Chain A
Amino acid sequence: MATRRTTASVTIAALLALVAWDLAASEPPNIYQAPPLLALGSGQAASGAHCSALPSHH
């Protein structure tokens, strides 16, 4: 009988494939330009993307 082990394994395999493909297709990360460990107290503006953000278009 098929169990959740099968479907969970498919999920993890798909995630690993996504990350591997993305690493091959995207600009390679540059660790020397990595931001400080914590944004809080860094003195730098937050630069991540969030679902609540609306870009201006006018």
Chain B
Amino acid sequence: MTQANVATPAGGSRIVQRVALVGAALLLALAVAALVGARYGLLLLIGLGFGIVLEGLRFGFAGPWRAMIVRREPGGVMAHLLAIGLVAVFAIPLLASHGSELVGARAPVGFAMVGGAFVFGACMQVVMGCGSGTLVNAGSGNPVSLLALPFFALGSFAGSYHLLWWTDLGSLPVIALDGIRGTIITIVALAAVAALVFRLGKPGHRAMPRRYVVAAVLLALLALANLAVAGQPWGVVYGLGLWGAKGATALGADLSGSGFWSAPGNIERIRSSLLTDVTSLTNLGIIAGAFGAAAWKGGLNAPLPKLPARAWIATVIAGFLLGYSSRLAFGCNVGAFFSGISTGSLHGWAWFAAAFAGAYYGIKLRPVLGLEKR
């Protein structure tokens, strides 16, 4: 038997598998569009796009931050700043000109917000997955993220439940950069941070890999599409908390004691289908898109890691803390860092600084918790 004869059936089977993946994705989006509404079908497609880009191009947030802190490789962080800048150039002026139709990811800076971002930064290094990363990794079969995800949702629900108590500890008013002036200040600040991380990078390791540039441009396009279609920026953690709130309500929990979950808009979200919730739809799309991209690349054949019991316990705790802290911080790497900065919110910058500091300590915790060799 020749090599060609061996390769043909496998190649044919792979083509069938890939056609089936694309067909299933389109069918899902069409079904949502037909049953729930065209906007919701489109949002599912945008979510699928996020998942495909992040998994297909092996791009994320936790990994590049680790590369900068441990190996002084700034390429990934510079790609984040590039993507955020590309979105900001369009999003901040659009928010100024279409303020009645679009809202930004704008939240107050406060004690709990900064503390939450610090804890989130540490935990995202412990499980090597941020908000979007946990969804992507669960979709591509990473068992650590699969275990962390339900606890992330529980934590996000609990953090939302207590959110108003935490913000009462002390918060500034919402501060946001607006219009052309705000856009210019944001771009200059992003360029300054990019120049700083480039300078801090190790000589010879400062380049931005081509796949990171492609990923940054595609993520920016998808984030702008999310804003235009949904009227709000890309987010992750509200949707996860909503899944927790729906579960708690189904089990008979009374959420009237929570100022957050008893707010009229959130009561409506709990009553309505997940398929009409913006962040739930993009979250579902991210997981399914990552699954499809991993299957497309043959990445699902990788063996599962063998980890000690303390690593799994640490994953459960870190998963819960990821959800809880991201609610206090008014978002994760997506809702606060990416969408906050790109829509002019000061809290996005505060989140970045606090979470990056937390990431430094999270990296030190990983070997102690058995998630990597000492």
Q: Which secondary structure dominates chain B's binding surface?
A: helix
Q: B229, A8: Cβ atoms under 8 Å? A: no
Given contacts A10-B146, A18-B274, A25-B250, contact A54 B108 (CB under 8 A): yes
In the assembly, what is the distance between CA of A38 and CA of B294, in Å?
30
Interface SS of chain A: loop
Do the beta carbons of A54 and B336 come within 8 Å of each other? Answer: no
The reply on B163 being an interface residue by CB < 8 A is yes
How many A-B pairs have beta carbons closer than 8 Å: the answer is: 204
With contacts A3-B304, A39-B230 taken as known, whether A29 is within 8 angstroms of B272 at the C-beta atoms is yes
Whether a CB of chain A sits under 8 angstroms from the CB of B209 is no
Known: A7-B146, A27-B271. A51 touches B291 (CB 8 A): no
Residue of A nearest to B343 (CB): A52
- Is B36 among interface residues, defined by CB-CB distance under 8 A? yes
Contact of B271 among A26, A43, A48, A52 (CB under 8 A): A26
A52 near B339 with CB under 8 A, answer: yes
Task: For the complex, count residues of A whose C-beta is within 8 A of B.
Answer: 46
State which residues 2-51 of A face B: CB under 8 Å: 2-12, 15, 18-19, 22-23, 25-29, 31, 34-51
In Å, the complex CA distance between A43 and B276 comes to 19
Q: Do residues A40 and B102 form an inter-chain contact, with CB atoms below 8 A?
A: yes
B42 within 8 A of A: yes
CB distance from A12 to the nearest CB of B (A): 6
Q: Are A8's CB and B284's CB within 8 A?
A: no
Identify which of B228, B235, B273 contacts A28 (C-beta below 8 A): B273
Given A40-B101, A51-B335, A55-B260, A7 and B246 contact (CB-CB distance below 8 Å): no
B interface with A by C-beta (< 8 Å): 34-40, 42, 94, 98, 100-108, 138-143, 146, 149, 163-164, 167, 227-233, 235-238, 241-243, 246, 250, 259-260, 263, 265-266, 269, 271-279, 284, 287-288, 291, 294-295, 299-304, 326-327, 330-332, 335-336, 339-340, 345, 347
CB within 8 Å of B: which residues of A?
Answer: 1-12, 15, 18-19, 22-23, 25-29, 31, 34-55, 57
